[in-house]
Amino acid sequence: MNIKTKLTKIGREPKKNKGFVNPGIYKGSTLIFNDFKSYIKDRDRKDDVAYYGININPTWNKFERAISKLYGATDTVATPSGLAALVIPFFTFLKNGDHVLISDALYNPTRHFCEKILMHYGIEINYFHPTRSIDKFDRLIKDNTKLIFLESPGTATFDIIDFPKITKIAKINKIITVADNTWASPIFCNPLKLGVNIIVEASTKYINGHSDVLLGFVSSDILTAKKIRSYTKTLGICPGSEEVYLALRGLPTLELRMKEIEKNTLNLAIKLTKEKKIKKVFHPALTNHKNHKIWKRDFTGSSGLFSFELKRKYSDKKLEKFYKKLRIFKIGYSWGGFESLITFPTIDNRRYKENIKGTLVRVYCGLEHTEDQTNDIVEALKFLK
């Protein structure tokens, strides 16, 4: 079944919803047992997934099964935010004395979690550059390496990691691999097919698509699924039913939105490569991008987030003047919705320094008309002196 068709069917069972196309919203904590024997069976079970509202909710179940079908995952667990999804594999598979390898082009809140919380559990953390010396990646493996965390494209500089090369090494050494796939979504990449064990994603962004939800999920393969679900529920992590419902509502239009966003973003990226005040555009679909061939091999498309480096380093005062000339692009961190956004990130906390001398600008293209988007950025650039 084509993905466009699949997106209109998964998570929707009208016969079980009294004929309604969309599922109902179930809210609550207490579930009533059918009989006494069912209660005794549940009371005496050995795992932590009891017959309780934190574990069982029809709204969540529909969403989780829908995402699992999109990725071909053994199981998916919904979480109250993307960041909640990100931290679950660390807590599940690492213990005191273990070692974890993490891509240095990392989402800043993930790095903050690792350095402010995870390290206090006696876990050794090492970062690696996502594109340099990957042919020698096996040298980074230690006897106590238990987890490898990947993000591709990487934050701010959009580095593309060779997933199959790293996951092959990981499997030989029996190491769990995790990939943050928020940028690509299930439409443009499936890390499970590239050898990754676990996908984490912020469905806050593309899955929902309307900037009105905080939600995440963890999709796991057969090796990791049972442990992920057990740890997640033992930690008491669960989403809100209304948020899950809104994400389910967003699924049928996911492919349509992603394709339109892809077109808009590529138009802007190509246009900006011709601007005199811009030194470099960081977009994986551009042929001069580092590891473009790997992106083309492993991804089926590109999404709405990319960045560019200005030829000069501008002060915040001058950047504010540039921003005030924008009419379409608004300043804001999150992305994946219908509105275009802009930020001016710093990458000073990376272990491996990048050769970026000018101001780095990150843009997200939403669903406005592509000419309005390109004209907005190009006209504003004229005011940078």
Asked if residues 186 and 215 have their Cβ atoms less than 8 Å apart, the reply is no
Spatial CA neighbour of 166 closest among 155, 152, 156: 152
Q: What is the pLDDT of residue 385?
A: 81
The 8-class DSSP code of residue 217 comes to: E
Which helix (H) or strand (E) segment holds residue 243: the answer is helix 241-250
pTM above 0.85, yes or no: yes
**Diameter over CA atoms, the chain:** 77
Looking at residue 288, what is its pLDDT? 96
Enumerate domains of the chain plus CATH numbers. Answer: 3-252 (3.40.640.10), 254-381 (3.90.1150.10)
Q: What is the pLDDT at residue 92? A: 97
pLDDT in tens, 228-242: 999 999 899 999 999
* CB neighbour list of residue 180: distance below 8 Å, 6 or more residues apart: 86, 107, 110, 149, 150, 151, 200, 201
pLDDT score, position 114: 95
What local confidence, expressed as pLDDT, does residue 21 receive?
Answer: 77
If we measure between CA atoms, which residue out of 60, 124, 119 comes closest to residue 97?
124
Give the pLDDT of residue 49. Answer: 67
C-alpha distances out from residue 159 to 60, 106, 346, Å: 33, 10, 15
3-state secondary structure (DSSP) of residue 177: strand
Which regions in the chain score pLDDT beneath 50? none
